[in-house]
Amino acid sequence: MCNLYSMTRTQDAIRAFANAMRDHAGNLPPLPGIFPDYPAPIVRNAPDGVRELALARWGMPSSSFALMEATKKRAAKLEAKGTAVDFKELLRMEPDTGTTNVRNVASKHWQRWLGVANRCVVPFTSFSEFNKAEGGDVWFALSEDRPLAFFAGIWTNWTSVRKVREGETTNDLFAFLTTEPNELVALIHPKAMPVILTTPEEIEVWMTAPANEALALQRPLPDGSLRILARGQKQDGGSSALLGTGEPLLL
């Protein structure tokens, strides 16, 4: 599961690559460490049909089953302490920081967001998979200079409780698709890797094509397409000072 990535290229580069005609992201600084439930840039099909660069929180709504199970556990703990429980209200206020990675696109929970109106692409320059035995966070990129690429994603506007202290809020949310890993990623994380788009043509397919054609992109990158560039860091900005070494770390 990918729960950490970086994006250090400029807004101009993102807009040009993804053909975004509008920019609502404000002044976007380099983001060497993007974590779940934090705002990050996406390029989406806006409701008025214009492709735009915007910010959204990382983590789509979790399934009703997952929230129900979490609420049952919370209710049981409260009842064990002798606290009266309004289960319906407890369920409504159950915190949900979101689901960051989407694998099972056949699920009814995800199918509602697979149409063109809810597709997006998520710019990145490197991503991390965690493996304690391999040094912690292991950073992958297309090459040492960390060129811009995109995850195939989905987005929505949703009202929920993300954090207890915030209460109920309405937010733009996103997640990206995953698939089986290629040979290199499988050495670190054998279960999955993000769905990565590396060309403007692939972005056009994901953003505009019918679902069956777009979902054909849910496949691993070919072997040899990625390199391991860093280990053990919670950020990856691409500089030797940040990474603690002047050389890329390769397998």
- Please write the tens of the pLDDT for every residue from 79-99: 888 888 888 887 877 888 899
Cβ within 8 Å of residue 142, ≥6 positions away = 149, 198, 225, 226, 227
pLDDT reported for residue 85: 81
pLDDT reported for residue 66: 83
Q: What is the mean pLDDT of residues 8-19?
A: 97
Q: Which residue has the higher pLDDT, 83 or 23?
A: 23
pTM: predicted TM-score of the whole model, two decimal places: 0.89
Enumerate the domain spans of the chain: 5-61+96-243
Q: Which residue has the higher pLDDT, 92 or 23?
A: 23
For the domain made up of 5-61+96-243, give the CATH fold.
hypothetical protein yedk fold (3.90.1680)
Provide the token pair at 58: 């990382």
Q: What share of the chain in percent tops pLDDT 70?
A: 94
Helix (H) or strand (E) holding 54: strand 51-58
Provide the token pair at 52: 């735009």
139, burial (CB in 10 Å: exposed 0-12, middle 13-18, buried 19+): buried
- Please write the tens of the pLDDT for every residue from 155-201: 999 999 998 888 889 999 999 999 999 999 999 999 999 999 999 99
Nearest-Å Rg of the Cα atoms of the chain is 19
Matching residue, tokens 């319906």: 88
